[in-house]
Structure formats: structure tokens, C-alpha cells
Chain A
Amino acid sequence: MGLFDTLEVSGSALSAERQRAEVVATNLANAETTHTAEGGPFHRKEVVFSSQQPSPFRLMFAGLNHNSGPVAGVRITQVVDDPTPPVMRYEPGHPDANKDGYVAYPAINPVQEMVDLMGAVRAYQLNASAVTATKQMIQQSLDILK
């Protein structure tokens, strides 16, 4: 495993954190959505991270070089619905109101979403600086040729 594989590890984290930020943005955008294609209000989405092992091909290749590296990136295995029941608000004139006049709104707390978004942004920044560090190391190795 060389320096370029390290870039790949950081890249997997960048893409996972970006996807997490996208999911948070979806939640925020749909905080007041009472009508979806599946029926009922929008359900808050959450991402599930898991650490990723290199592909079998890569392992085989690394084994040939007698240098099977300790690489583990990250990936999003699934996006799950938050099972919290919707919040009922009394709005009798609303077209999605039930027979008692209550409308089901998604149970989304904007503060919680913003904190999650900040976490994703910070983790993204961290991994972006890791990419910069690795790029510098590659550049230094190339400088040997000068």
C-alpha cells in the first residue's frame, strides 16, 4: 500500500461525510413536508457509517507484493428512517389533516440537524487536510528526482 492508497482512504471519508451532509440538508429542507409519494409525512433520515475493508482484488495484489497494508476507509452502508412518530398539529383547514383536524408533521429538530451538519463539515475539513498532508508527502518524494 502506497501513498496513493492513502489518498483513497481519505477520499472515501470525504465522500461519506459529504453524503451525510446531503442527508442532513434533505432533513432540513423537508422539515415541514406533510405529503410524500409513500403517503404520510416525511421521515427523518439517518446515515449508518461502517469501516470499509479493501476489495479482494486489492488484497490479492498487496499480498503479491508481500506488503498487505493496514488500510480501512469508511463508507455509508445504509440510510435509515428515524422511527420517531410524527408531531401532530391542529390545522383543520390543511388538506392533509385527519378527521380530527390534526396534521402529521415530521419530527425534525432543526438544532439537532445543524449540530449534525457541523459535525459533518468538521470531519470533512479534517479529511481534506489529511489529503493535503498526503499530497505534500507525494510531492516531497517526487522532489528526490530533481
Chain B
Amino acid sequence: MSTMPILQLLERYLTLTSDRNQVIISNMSNVDTPGYHTRDIDFQAELRRLMNASTTVQSSPALKTVSGLIERPDGNNVNLDREGMLLAETQLQYQLGVQLVKTEFHRLLTAINEGK
């Protein structure tokens, strides 16, 4: 269990989610590029690493090519169904992070207002 302030944890979570969103969108934009291979971030592993990292300097998440996708004759293996599902998933994850940040600030505000 990490002892980091919750806002800092949430910030790292949001950064990772938006990074993954970017990888998915870059896969989507290369749907017709010959020879392009689908890339992704190992979300669970990266999140675990970020939650336990103590330094303020964050390295960018590692990118890997995804295996097990069917390659078209032009060497491209972007699967639109996969990317579409992941985009929706990532968006909801991001929304969750934002809501938690808002809740945290509301809690702070409640304390300032002496619980009124």
C-alpha cells in the first residue's frame, strides 16, 4: 500500500490513462498505414509501477507491440473492434479518475466549511 497523498496517486493514474488513450488513438489513425503494428501499454503493470515509484520524476510507460492479432496482406494488424472497445474503456477509466479528484476536493471544501 502506498503512502502517497491520494491526489498524487490520482494524478499518476490520470496521466497513465491519457497516455494509453493516446496509444489507442495513434493505432486508430494508422488503420490504413501498410506495415503498421498495433501498440499498447501494459496498464496493470505500469499502474503498479507508478503507484510504488517514490520519485517525482516519472518515466514514460513502456510500449509493446500486441501479439495475436490477424495481419492483413499489407502488413497492418490494427483491429478496429479492439481499439474501439479500448477507447471506450480508457475513457471511462479517465472519467473515474476525474470524479475521484473532484470528490477529494469536495472533501477538502467540506472541511474548510466546517462540515456545513
Instruction: Give A contacts to B, CB under 8 Å.
Output: 1-3, 5-6, 9-10, 12-13, 16-17, 20, 49-51, 66-74, 119, 123, 126-127, 130, 133-134, 136-137, 140-141, 143-144
Contacts and interface: CB of A to CB of B under 8 A. Distances in A.
Interface in B1-50: 14-15, 18-19, 21-23, 25-26, 28-34, 36, 39, 41
Given A10-B25, A70-B26, A126-B28, 19 more contacts: A1-B19, A2-B18, A3-B21, A6-B21, A9-B26, A51-B30, A66-B58, A69-B19, A69-B22, A70-B22, A70-B60, A123-B31, A130-B28, A133-B87, A134-B21, A137-B95, A140-B95, A141-B98, A144-B102
B80 A130 contact: no
A107 B18 CA distance: 46
Contacts of B67: none
Please name the 9 residue pairs, one residue from A and one from B, whose CB atoms are nearest each other, closest first.
Answer: A13-B29, A49-B33, A72-B26, A6-B22, A140-B98, A70-B63, A51-B33, A74-B29, A51-B30
Contacts of A69: 19, 22, 60
Q: Please report whether the interface of chain B is mostly helix, strand, loop or mixed according to DSSP.
A: helix
Given A6-B18, A137-B18, A143-B102, A70 B39 contact: yes
Contacts of A12: 29
Interface string B56-67: 011111010000
A52 to B, nearest CB: 9
Given A6-B25, A144-B98, A74 B33 contact: yes
B22 A71 contact: yes
A119 B76 CA distance: 15
Residue from B18, B22, B30, B91 with most neighbouring chain A CB atoms (10 Å): B22
A16 B32 CA distance: 10
A71 B21 CA distance: 10
B25 A49 contact: no
A127 B98 contact: no
A137 B101 contact: no
